[in-house]
Amino acid sequence: METPTVHQTSPTALPFSLSVPDRREDLRTQLVSSVGALIGTEASLQTSIPGVTLYRYCAPTLPESATYEPSVALVVQGRKRVTLGRTSFDYDPSRFLLTSLDLPVTSQVVEASREVPYLCMRLKLDIAMVRELLGREPDKAGLARSGKPAMTTAETTAEFLDAFGRLLDLHHAPQDIDYMGGLIKREIIYRILQGAAGQRLRSIATIGENSQRTAKAVEWIRDNYTKPLRVDMLAKVACMGVSTLHHHFRALTSMSPLQYQKQLRLQEARRRMLVDGLDAAHAAFEVGYESASQFNREYSRFFGQSPMRDVRSLRVVGDDE
């Protein structure tokens, strides 16, 4: 059996009787028990710890569109696949998912059962906290390179599992959440920055980097997706040339600014029809479409069927569950 390499671990960090793989499995088992006990039979649970959400599925799911915010997703049981553009990321107990920007994706649980449900912890990232930690480390400008998607997976270490376990334990000690929660979240961000995935987060958070400027453009579209989009205006928001913005925007999000806006609009229209009961025409105008026929065409192309048929099928699935 190949002996794993341990990074940044002091000689006294592990009990002599417990190997790294054993410690990692022990910590994962503890998290399975803790997450399962808290979430019960619910599909999702917003915990009392700010930014921490739990998820549970008892069967694989069909691909569905969603927008992932800057976050870390730690699967403790099962497996999930997220597709950004043409790139798919699989994550399971051995690898966590890091998302550095708001990204429209397609996601599906690919491994889950009633006996062994999919269980996941998601921690929303505070970019201001990331910048605070970056300000304390030596100059690593050479590491803050752009040109790669703002989403990646990385190895789930024992230290990472331990930090998430201590963070979740705060649910049972509400008096400690305000102080200890911030400390443990900083530890998690620190471990990301020190690992292979740190470059993605560093480039988004480093002021003046092309990725950080592009992130401003992403944020503007997210906050103003119902408004007409002029790329020259967006380039001014990012303090970049139009062609430079296009290049970096596609590199980070795997789509153009207009494609990004379209996906946000279509996903929000779908939500408003499903949750708020709007018809297709009203949902289209609410999210910024001026033509109902254009909305119907783009919705059918993106989701695979007409708006009302899609919503009806989603409601049937919801009723079955």
Residues 6+ apart with CB under 8 A from 186: 129, 132, 133
Output helix, strand, coil percentages for the chain, rounded to the nearest 5: 50, 20, 30
Render 198-215 in DSSP notation, one character per residue. Answer: HHHHHHHHSTTSHHHHHH
Global pTM value: 0.85
Report the distance separating Cα 282 and Cα 272, nearest Å: 9
Quick one: pLDDT at residue 14? 42
User: pLDDT value at position 296?
Assistant: 96
Please give the pLDDT value at position 19: 61
The confidence score (pLDDT) of residue 3 equals 43
Q: Closest by alpha carbon to 109, among 44, 58, 40?
A: 58
> How far apart are alpha carbons 263 and 181 in whole angstroms?
34
Q: 76 and 29 in contact (C-beta within 8 Å)?
A: no
Among candidate residues 41, 42, 114, 101, the one with its CA nearest the CA of residue 69: 101
Q: What is the pLDDT of residue 13?
A: 44
Task: Using only the alpha carbons of the chain, give its radius of gyration.
Answer: 21
The amino acid present at 42, given as its one-letter code, is E
Query: Rounded to an integer, what distance in angstroms lies between the CA atom of residue 87 and that of residue 77?
Result: 23
- Which pLDDT belongs to residue 147? 63
Q: How far is residue 44's CA from residue 266's CA, in Å, rounded to a whole number?
A: 23
Three-class DSSP category at 9: coil
- Those residues with Cβ within 8 angstroms of residue 88's Cβ, 6 or more apart along the chain or in another chain: 81, 82
Question: For residue 316, what pLDDT is reported?
Answer: 72
Measure the CA–CA gap between 120 and 279, rounded to whole angstroms.
34
- Residue by residue, pLDDT tens for the chain (321 residues) are 444 443 433 334 444 445 666 899 999 999 999 999 999 999 999 999 999 999 999 999 988 899 999 999 999 999 999 999 889 999 999 999 999 999 999 999 999 999 999 999 999 999 999 999 988 765 554 444 556 899 999 999 999 999 999 999 999 999 999 999 999 999 999 999 999 899 889 888 887 788 889 999 999 999 999 999 999 999 999 999 999 999 999 999 999 999 999 999 999 999 999 999 999 999 999 999 999 999 999 999 999 999 999 998 887 765 555
The whole-number pLDDT of residue 319 equals: 53
Is the four-CA dihedral 127, 129, 132, 137 of positive or negative sign?
Answer: negative
